[in-house]
Amino acid sequence: MPIRTWDPLGDLLKLQERLNALLQASLAPGRPETVPIDASFIPPADAWETAEGFVIQVDVPGVEENDLTVQIEGERLVVSGLRRAAARPASFHCMERCAGAFSRSFVLPERVEASEVRLSLRDGMLRLELDKARRRARGDKA
C-alpha cells in the first residue's frame, strides 16, 4: 500500500467538488437555480480614517439613493436600505442576486459632525465622507 501524505487543502477542495456535483445532479432538468428573494444582502464595505475625518465606501449595486438611509448615533454610523428584486422574465435560467433590506453599522473611534456628512452614490458605490467633530473650548456646552 502506498504512503499518502495528508493534504488538508486538497482534501477540502475535492470535497467541495463532490458537493457541487451532487447539488448540480439533484436539480431537475429545466428547473432553474435561484437564490430566495429574501436571502440576506450584506454589502461589502471599506472604511478608513484621514487627518480630517473618516471615509466609508459601501458596494450597493442596484440600490437607488432614495432607498438608502444614513444615520449617526454618537460614534455609530448606520447605513441601511433596500435592494429591490429585479423583474423576473417569463423564463430564466439562473438568478443569484439577493434582494431585500440591509443594514451595516460602523463604530467610529471619534465623534463626527453629523450635519456635515457628504454622500455620493455613483456606479453602485456609496461613498460617505465624515468630518471629525471640532473640539469645543472649555466652558462651551456640547
pLDDT on residue 141: 57
Q: What CA–CA distances, in Å, run from 44 to 19, 49, 56, 69?
A: 27, 17, 11, 16
121 belongs to a structural domain: yes
C-alpha cell of residue 74: 454618537
10 belongs to a structural domain: no
Please, what's the b/e burial string for 108-140 (b: 16 or more CB within 10 A of its CB; e: otherwise)?
Answer: beeebeeeebeeeeeeeebebbbbbbeeeeeee
- Provide the CATH number for the domain around residue 50: 2.60.40.790
Q: What total number of domains does the chain contain?
A: 1
Is 65 strand, coil or helix? helix
pLDDT on residue 38: 45
pTM, to two decimals: 0.66
136 belongs to a structural domain: no
22 belongs to a structural domain: no
Residue partners of 116: CB distance under 8 A and separation at least 6:
130, 131
30 belongs to a structural domain: no
42 belongs to a structural domain: yes
138 belongs to a structural domain: no
Range of the domain at 79: 38-86+97-131
Rounded Cα distance, 28 and 31, in Å: 5
12 belongs to a structural domain: no
Profile the chain (142 residues) by mean pLDDT over runs of 10 residues: 59 75 61 49 91 95 93 89 83 77 90 92 96 70 54
Is 7 strand, coil or helix? coil
